[in-house]
Structure 1
Amino acid sequence: MTKITRADVLARAGYAARGAVYALLGWLALGTRGAADNGQNAVFDMVQDMPGGGAVLGLLVAGLVAYGIYKLASALLDLERHGHAPKGLAVRTGLGAGALAYLAMAWAAGKFALGYRHYASQGAHGGADMAGGVLGWPLGWVLVAAVGLAFLAAAAFQAIGAATGGFMKRIAADAPKGTEALGRIGLAARCVVFALVGWSLLRSAWLVRHAEVRDLGGVLAQLRGTQALYLTVAAGLLVFGLFSLICARFRVVPAIDVVDAARARFN
């Protein structure tokens, strides 16, 4: 049990699952275009139809849950020592938001794995529906705007990583040649996606209209009107998937048991 709850084990399983999802999504977007409009759900739908797809989906669910737990532990326990300065707190807040996103992705994959494809597909663009519910709350537009700003901040961090290659500080020295190039390309593509999602949320908050919200699939659908940009981002997402698979083996992660660390922190 101790090994399963170690941060490095959770992270490696998570990076592998993240890599598979992004690589398949990028490949799907490049090959069939319109099918990628459902975002990660399109990937789960495709995997389910493969031989042994149910077992593969089960592995993806386990990996995505592991990644969500790892990111949540990183946010709460500061496993990667980002600290309590404003920049560090911003990074840790982003990690916490990412944890929720990947756990939601695991939930969607789980519905496909259990055979609830129809119900899972209905939630393919659940971001707009969720935003619609929040906008109905008193001052709900403030919360939607805050989430939009968080996505824009995440896009900025992705852009900085793509420009500087700073992420290599957490990659082992014996990683394959070309890892930095893959990371820069992948982060640049994610920067575009996160920026467009964040902007759509801000527009939704300003106009109080949830139909403005775009999730990953919605962004790809939006970009199809500009072929060169669409192909560039789709290829970048595929490359990000490959980079994530490399991270599954070569990312430097502390071998800390997150359960023991949580007990020490909060008891």
Structure 2
Amino acid sequence: MTDVSSYVPSPSPRWVENFAKFGLTAKGIVYCLVGAIAFMAAFELGGQSTQSAGRSNIFKTIQDMPAGNILLGLVAAGLICYTLWRFIQAVKDTEGKGSNAKGTAMRLRYMFSGIIYGSLAFLAVRMVLGNSSGSGSDSRQTLTAKLLEQPFGQWLVGIVATGTVIAGLYQIYYGYSEKYQKEVQGSGLKHDVEHRMIRAGKLGYIARGIVWIVIGYLFLQAALKSSAKEAGGSTEAFQFLENTSYGSFILGAVALGLICYGIFMFMRAKYQPIHSR
């Protein structure tokens, strides 16, 4: 006789669920602050500049707040939790993506996300311990310089650029198609509340995709010109957007989208079902 219970997903261990929710909350805080400072920089409010709005540079803003080191420590802990949860998703296939080409690609995406946020967590921890100034641009330029020194170095940087642009385009597609809504659907929310959550997620993913595409373009320029100084992260992407025609409005719109993305992370932390296997 078949055991029906074997088809029923078992609840996640409490520690996995706590890691995921704490991590999503920390990620939401980072994106809300990045978006808020980028918006202020776009319209020259409060003396803010795009230099302060990068994801890594935002840690300095947190550190300058009252009890800033404690707050930054909490954000660092949250990002560590997010990193571990992403690795659990990738290794244990908790989302049931499988081992075919599409499933493997998705699990590699979880792993890559874990590496990215793990590096941010490491930077935040170093800042709490007083061992770093918080600048992330130099690290990308250093990486680009090392790649350019290798055989076919320009091609290697070009591959990084292409991968980043493709990831950005996927973010826009993921947002526009509303495929992400499965992360919060079925939470028992009222229809209008769920609709606002989905709208916030759409704007957030599209804005995030735009930033990634610009970062990819900067890497492409570094490859074409064989110059590591052309590469950059979100700070340089914001500067690029600000320097375009109607740049303040474009950067302001992207910044509001990033705030929406941060809000959506809070919503995911509260309502997304967390799986452990």
Same fold per TM (> 0.5)? yes
- 2:266 paired residue number: 245
Distance 1:65 1:184, change over 3 A: same
* Cα-Cα RMSD: 2.0
Structure 2 counterpart of 1:28, one-letter code = I
| In 2, Cα distance between equivalents of 1:206 and 1:84 | 36
1:215 aligns with 2:233: yes
- Does the residue aligned with 1:40 lie in a helix, a strand or coil? coil
Structure richer in helix, relative to its length? 1
Instruction: Identify which of 104, 129, 134 aligns with 1:114.
Output: 129
- Does the residue aligned with 2:166 lie in a helix, a strand or coil? helix
Larger Rg: 2
- 2:86 paired residue number: 71
Give CA deviations for 1:104-146 in whole Å, capped at 9, x if unaligned. 1111111222234xx3245444212221122112233343233
Q: Which runs of 4+ in 1 moved over 6 A?
A: none
Structure 1 stretch displaced more, 137-146 or 208-217? 137-146
Q: Which runs of 5+ in 2 are unaligned?
A: 1-12, 43-47
- 2:167 paired residue number: 154
After superposition, residues 95-134 of structure 1 pair within 5 angstroms as 95-116=110-131, 119-134=132-147
1:15 aligns with 2:24: yes
- Does the residue aligned with 2:253 lie in a helix, a strand or coil? helix
The alignment's TM-score, normalised by the length of structure 2, stands at 0.83
Q: Which runs of 5+ in 1 are unaligned?
A: 257-267
Structure 1 counterpart of 2:167, one-letter code = A
Identity percentage of aligned residues = 25
The alignment's TM-score, normalised by the length of structure 1, stands at 0.86
- Does the residue aligned with 1:138 lie in a helix, a strand or coil? coil
1:83 aligns with 2:92: no
| TM-fit CA distance, 1:64 | 0.6
Tell me, yes or no, if the aligned pair for 2:94 and 2:276 is still in contact at 8 Å: no
Tell me, yes or no, if the aligned pair for 1:36 and 1:42 is still in contact at 8 Å: no
| In 1, Cα distance between equivalents of 2:59 and 2:135 | 13
Distance 1:165 1:84, change over 3 A: same
1:144 aligns with 2:157: yes
Structure 2 counterpart of 1:248, one-letter code = A
1:186 aligns with 2:195: no
| In 1, Cα distance between equivalents of 2:116 and 2:110 | 10
